[in-house]
Structure 1
């Protein structure tokens, strides 16, 4: 009996810890993607071809699950939904990832993982524009969302405009060889940062359009598979136009194949599933709050594996971004709790209303019956007396 009780407690503890373990593991996966992608781009792989191969792999990974698991609930694919899917594929697989890869090649894996933390702030701004978010300046959590967004954007501006001296967090013994690399990267640093910010804007637009599309096409796996498929086709066309050398499409047993398979399976296949499960349990705010962890892991791996140099401007900007991000997350969590409480109150009110009305009706019926009884009794008395 005691063993059964202890096993039940262990299961409860594991169920509570499982979302944390899932998101923590996923951040390791994203950090690994930054490193592997940097290695493949530095080895000469074209970013257009990398984005195409990534979605080839993702399509083959997601499509079987979508076909078998959602065959009974998949809605009909209409022309307006198909056009939205084409636009989604252009925003995320084509525009976002190609801009991101170009920015990553011009900056560093650590810097790219830090600047991606601007994504929640940009998404919040676009959600305000499309009326998916509301602001009430009388509520402190609404003010926190605005202030956090401003702090996050300020951190991105610091990282863009101020590079600063090198901060040697982990001594790698490669300072002399990296000096020329740093000098050659300086001239492309601002351009790379702007590309990364453009990538975040495209990614945020993808989230906004995806939220509207899911209302019309509520099949997450099928929508993901179609986006990956269209992204593969659109990226393929762009790659054929931009890359004329057909030898660039060749893959060997090297970092190029590893980057395509790893990013396709882990970051476009497993990540969609894990995030979907955790969002259903804890909500999107919980998932977003783990983004700074990926930045820290990428900085450590980048310094060890790639011998990347961390600059003071990146550290200061990253601190601002983390502060702003958690301010927005706190405001969103309070907003979510309040909206949930209002929804519960509305449901309770909707349930109580018929009970009160029926009670009033019952009282009215009982009163009428009593009056009928009072009226009928005296009416019968004179008749009996006449007889």
Structure 2
């Protein structure tokens, strides 16, 4: 096989880089959502109604694309698949998002995004339980995934438990306002932490179930549309129970509309689809391993937009988290290369050709086993093409 042309080589590089670019881009999207959602809830928007409107927008945006683009490849809907979609819609749109919004309201946007760093570890454990990930202590890339996940958790713990002195990157007049917010948040710190833990477990379970569902229903856009639609229905039911008064449902041209529109398009519609595509190719652990980046982006945006204080512990934790993330991604990339090598070696082993003879299976149409005819190899080299 000759060398690849520059265009072919560039196309190959871009193809391999797509999962990485998609996941990094999503972290910027999530970081923006955390900040915008925090602003809208400070202006009095209910987290339950925000989650409902978010999936109304996502359904309106994604459903037409799913209907048109996947009309020929969309599998038939069955009751077991529909029940999985109902559970998926509860795990992420209802359980995860509402618990996360409440936890973030009781703490801070930066603290909430830092807690998301537990997501790779929880997903990794669940993936091992359900045999989506295999660990071989004799292979370096397999150990790298485990060690990298542990490093990520350590970084999250450092950022959460150790504050240290305040690093004032941006001097602003919003410090007094933030101090008042922190004092009220401290009263609900334990409650907020418990809610954030529950949201992480729901999100991890969503990734695992999504991985299994895609094997039965391999249409990412259609699955995304169904999850958004059922999430809208379930969120609406929860909102009607939890929120009293129709005035809470009013949305104007303000941060409430921006939060619902942005999070619905970017963090529900696009995110569910992109994660589904990457999960089918790389698995749920690869998808969640990029979540620590979101904390760093959110911390920077929180300092600029919400005037949140950045502590030394946050910076040290961020450095540790990035190190763990790099270790996990390196392990996953080596794992992919090794699997490709194994496939090629297995394919070569299946060729029934030896130096001395080649075997031809002759089926004479009788129910007896096929006869094997050994033909001595010629002294001249011969081509296997066409055999």
Q: Name the TM tier (shorter chain).
A: 0.7 to 0.9
The structure-2 alpha-carbon separation of the partners of 1:320 and 1:71, relative to structure 1 and needing over 3 Å to count, comes to same
Task: State the secondary structure of the residue aligned to 1:360.
Answer: strand
1:1-387 alignment, distance < 5 Å: 15=14, 19=18, 25-275=25-275, 290-350=290-350, 352-353=351-352, 359-361=358-360, 364=373, 366=375
Alpha-carbon distance between aligned partners in 1 of 2:14 and 2:336, rounded to the nearest angstrom = 22
The structure-2 alpha-carbon separation of the partners of 1:15 and 1:326, relative to structure 1 and needing over 3 Å to count, comes to closer
Q: Give the C-alpha shift of residue 70 in structure 1.
A: 1.1
Q: Give the C-alpha shift of residue 17 in structure 1.
A: 10
Can you list the C-alpha shifts for 1:246-274, whole angstroms capped at 9, x where unaligned?
Answer: 21111111101110011101222233445
Number of the residue aligned with 1:380: none
Can you list the C-alpha shifts for 1:6-35, whole angstroms capped at 9, x where unaligned?
Answer: 9x6998599579847655544432222111
Alpha-carbon distance between aligned partners in 2 of 1:270 and 1:355, rounded to the nearest angstrom = 52
Q: Does structure 2 conserve the Cα–Cα contact (< 8 Å) formed by 1:120 and 1:325?
A: no
Can you list the C-alpha shifts for 1:344-375, whole angstroms capped at 9, x where unaligned?
Answer: 2223333x1379999234994557xxxxxxxx
Alpha-carbon distance between aligned partners in 1 of 2:98 and 2:252, rounded to the nearest angstrom = 22
Q: Does structure 1 conserve the Cα–Cα contact (< 8 Å) formed by 2:59 and 2:229?
A: yes
Can you list the C-alpha shifts for 1:290-316, whole angstroms capped at 9, x where unaligned?
Answer: 544433332222111111112333333
Can you list the C-alpha shifts for 1:212-248, whole angstroms capped at 9, x where unaligned?
Answer: 1111111111111111111111111111111122211
Alpha-carbon distance between aligned partners in 2 of 1:17 and 1:45, rounded to the nearest angstrom = 41
Number of the residue aligned with 2:380: none
Task: State the secondary structure of the residue aligned to 2:229.
Answer: helix
Alpha-carbon distance between aligned partners in 2 of 1:17 and 1:346, rounded to the nearest angstrom = 23
Can you list the C-alpha shifts for 1:140-198, whole angstroms capped at 9, x where unaligned?
Answer: 22222222222223333334444444332321133333322222222223332332232
Higher-helix-fraction structure: 1
Alpha-carbon distance between aligned partners in 2 of 1:179 and 1:230, rounded to the nearest angstrom = 40
Number of the residue aligned with 2:383: none
Q: Does structure 2 conserve the Cα–Cα contact (< 8 Å) formed by 1:54 and 1:261?
A: yes
Q: Does structure 1 conserve the Cα–Cα contact (< 8 Å) formed by 2:167 and 2:312?
A: yes
User: Which structure carries more relative contact order (alpha carbon 8 Å, separation 6+)?
Assistant: 1
The structure-2 alpha-carbon separation of the partners of 1:365 and 1:165, relative to structure 1 and needing over 3 Å to count, comes to closer
Q: Does structure 1 conserve the Cα–Cα contact (< 8 Å) formed by 2:95 and 2:202?
A: yes
Using the TM superposition, name which of 85-94 and 356-365 deviates more: 356-365
Q: Give the C-alpha shift of residue 289 in structure 1.
A: 5.9
Alpha-carbon distance between aligned partners in 2 of 1:148 and 1:21, rounded to the nearest angstrom = 20
Alpha-carbon distance between aligned partners in 2 of 1:357 and 1:307, rounded to the nearest angstrom = 78
The structure-2 alpha-carbon separation of the partners of 1:274 and 1:78, relative to structure 1 and needing over 3 Å to count, comes to closer
Which has the greater radius of gyration?
1
The structure-2 alpha-carbon separation of the partners of 1:107 and 1:357, relative to structure 1 and needing over 3 Å to count, comes to farther
Using the TM superposition, name which of 238-247 and 93-102 deviates more: 238-247
Q: Does structure 2 conserve the Cα–Cα contact (< 8 Å) formed by 1:160 and 1:190?
A: no
Task: State the secondary structure of the residue aligned to 1:167.
Answer: coil
Using the TM superposition, name which of 321-330 and 255-264 deviates more: 321-330
Q: Give the C-alpha shift of residue 134 in structure 1.
A: 1.2
Task: State the secondary structure of the residue aligned to 1:310.
Answer: coil
CA RMSD of aligned residues (A): 3.2
Q: Does structure 1 conserve the Cα–Cα contact (< 8 Å) formed by 2:112 and 2:196?
A: yes
Alpha-carbon distance between aligned partners in 1 of 2:214 and 2:274, rounded to the nearest angstrom = 18
The answer for unaligned runs of 5 or more in structure 1 is 368-387
TM-score of the two chains, using structure 2 as the length reference: 0.82
